[in-house]
Amino acid sequence: MFDPFNRSSSANASRTIKGWVSSALRLSEDHTLLVTELKCTEPDCPPIETVVAVLGPGGQQHQAKVHLAINEITREEALKLALDLQRLMAGEKRDNREDCDGHH
Amino acid sequence: MDITNGKVPVTVLTGFLGAGKTTLLNRILTENHGKRIAVIENEFGEIGIDDAIVINSDEEIFEMNNGCICCTVRGDLIRILGSLMRRRDKFDYILVETTGLANPAPVAQTFFVDDEIREQLELDGIVTVIDCKHVAMHLGESQECDEQVAFADVILLNKTDLVDDDAVSELEGRIRSRNALAKIYRTSNATIEMEKILNVNGFKLDKALATKPTFLEPEYPFEWGGLFELNGDSKMLVLQDGPDPKMNVLFLRAPDNEAGSITKLAETAVRFFSNNKKQISPGEKIDSSDQLYELSLPEEGSKTFEVALKEPGRYVFYTQHLPEEFSLEICTTSGTIEPIDFEVYDAGHTHDSEVSSVGIDSDGDLDEEKLMNWLGTLLREKGTDIFRMKGILSVAGQNERFIFQGVHMLFDGKRDRPWGDEKRTNQLIFIGRNLNREELVEGFNSCLAKKPHLSFH
């Protein structure tokens, strides 16, 4: 059941996840990580998911999701999310290169 | 240091280009308030302070869930706040200036989605600056303008020197109908005391509804009130075919020999119109009481209801629709009784905007489980349209007040201090688009554990 009265803080868990993801991706200081738990309200969606996003200095945005609460995310899960993010970031680099090749 | 609970307060400045945001910003920065302020600017302004930390940023919308406004934040702010917090010893207050066309929701939500941000920063308030002379062309026309007004904790009606008092008052009325929560100040040249715009605790749960929302006239759930002098003979309420197969009616005893009864009783009638309806069919009886009746008018032709009097005297009928729409009459066997006085009310159609505030003010305890279900469903189905909400609730079996506040679907609530000697009561306010007042009141009503005594504004 939706419980609006029970929103607990997960700042420590959030920090830990950011640490795992950041070191796995070897992110520099100019990248920011966002960890947020969404209580999904659509009928066909799982009731809870956590979004981990990387925001790059040039406005790049990548996100990966897992159907777990923040407090349930283990190191293993965090590394899977990091892997997803790495693929997205690599894809962006490749796209950018192709764009450049196309232009020149 | 101006850091409360170890958190750095953040004020968001919104307003259309030219409204006076930069003037206000410069005023804040030059005022001798002892705060070291970091400014995140979205618009090229002329900030005249050399030693202020000023960071320019371009609006980057970041959607965590495609297309869902509730899951949309500002990527640029997240990055800048992240880097600012690495030098948090350099400032003790943050001001975020948005562009005139910015939607305030993603800005506000940025401070709630990430628990690390929540731990370090506290959104103190949204201050919206309005150009009295030019806002009229945007209000009700521009979604951004309406939302900047609706989201605000503080609204400055600026440049009042350029318009006359009547125009400012009319504008204030229009703004108040959209946002019954905000503190509204009239200014010229954005001159205002700092304590009115900084540290206003607009999002602090403990301060939720610390000051009662200001409402204009209540929106009447009835269109007509008629005062009748009725003697002891049997009376009938007779209706013909009308535009609706049902109509709500309230029948109240009025004081005899007193002028203005209809108006005086109207506020009571507004409250009683929120009571549970009793559906009755032609032939059934209407008593003078707090009972709201829903007249069932299904068949063609004349429909008659019996009117029961406690005693001869003056009575007021409040009707959901105008009598002429149903050719409504009070009759005896010998003929029609004309009202000795009547009032026509605007039944909730007075807003010039789809953005409005709905307030609920009610005694009675709430059933916690029903309340959670209602709020959950409400946020799920209407979260996109509910911009902001705040409330203090009396939950059955709980000694403490339950307080909450929310932005779209981001809901924050907790048990607060005990009620003590204070009268237990419920006060909620919703600000949003296309809010259905009746539905909200009915939904809330269904959560009451005891007999409801509701008023709504």
> Are A59 and B73 inside 8 Å of each other by CB?
no
Confidence at residue B170, expressed as pLDDT on a 0 to 100 scale: 86
CB B347 within 8 A of CB B260: no
- Average of per-residue pLDDT across B306-317: 91
Q: Hey, are the CB atoms on A41 and B383 less than 8 Å from each other?
A: yes
Give the tokens for residue B396.
């059955």
A49-58 tens-digit pLDDT: 899 999 998 8
User: What per-residue confidence (pLDDT) applies to B83?
Assistant: 86
Residues B126, B128, B130, CA angle at the centre, nearest 5°?
A: 175
Question: What pLDDT score does A97 carry?
Answer: 59
Contacts of B109 (CB under 8 A, 6+ apart): B70, B72, B73, B407, B408, B410
Tell me which chain B residue has its CA closest to the CA of residue A53.
Answer: B64
B296, pLDDT greater than 70: yes
Q: Where exactly are the structural domains of chain A?
A: 7-101
Are B62 and A61 an interchain contact pair (Cβ–Cβ within 8 Å)? yes
Q: Give dist(CA B273, CA B35) in Å, integer.
A: 50
Contacts of B375 in chain A (CB under 8 A): 2, 4
DSSP A38: E
Strands (DSSP E) along B211-276, which ranges? 224-230, 235-239, 246-253
Select from A61, A64, A59, A56 the least CA-distant residue to A36: A64
- pLDDT > 90? residue A7: no
Residue B17 burial (CB count, 10 A): 12
Count the residues in chain B.
457
Dihedral sign for Cα atoms in the order B355, B75, A78, A73: negative
pLDDT at A4 over 50: no
Rounded mean pLDDT, B70-99: 89
Picking from A29, A41, A61, the nearest residue to B409 by CB comes out as A41
φ and ψ at residue B417, rounded to 5 degrees? -70, 160
Q: Quick one: pLDDT band at residue B224, thresholds 50, 70, 90?
A: very high
Spatial contact of A53 and B110, defined as CB atoms under 8 Å apart: no
Give pLDDT tens digits for B7-43.
999 999 999 888 999 899 989 988 888 889 999 987 6
Beta strands in B16-134 (DSSP E): 37-41, 53-56, 61-63, 72-74, 93-97, 121-131
Q: Give the global pTM.
A: 0.72
What CATH code is assigned to A7-101? Answer: 3.30.160
Domain-by-domain residue ranges, chain B? Answer: 8-211, 224-344, 355-456
The topology (CATH level 3) of B355-456 is Hypothetical Protein Yjia; Chain: A;domain 2 (3.30.1220)
Both structure tokens of B135: 């806002």
- How many helices (H) does chain A have, and how many strands (E)? 2, 3
**How far apart are the CA of B413 and the nearest CA of chain A, in angstroms?**
5
- pLDDT higher at B377 or B345: B377
CATH superfamily membership of B8-211: P-loop containing nucleotide triphosphate hydrolases (3.40.50.300)
Q: Encode B105-138: b = buried (16+ Cβ within 10 Å), e = exposed.
A: bbbbbbbbbbbbbbbbbbbbbbbbbbbbbbbeeb
Chain A: give the shortest CA distance to residue B260, in Å: 45
Q: Strand pairing of A48-55 and A61-66? A: antiparallel
CA dihedral B440, B441, B445, B451 (to 10 degrees): 170
Average pLDDT over residues B397-419: 88
Instruction: Tell me the C-alpha distance between A85 and A83, whole Å.
Output: 5
- What was the pLDDT predicted at A103? 40
Does B64 contact A5 at a Cβ distance shorter than 8 Å? no
Q: For residue B352, give every residue at least 6 positions away whose Cβ sits within 8 Å of its Cβ, in sequence order, or none.
A: B139, B140, B174, B177
Q: Mean pLDDT, chain B, as a whole number?
A: 85
Interchain contact, A61 vs B75, CB within 8 Å? yes
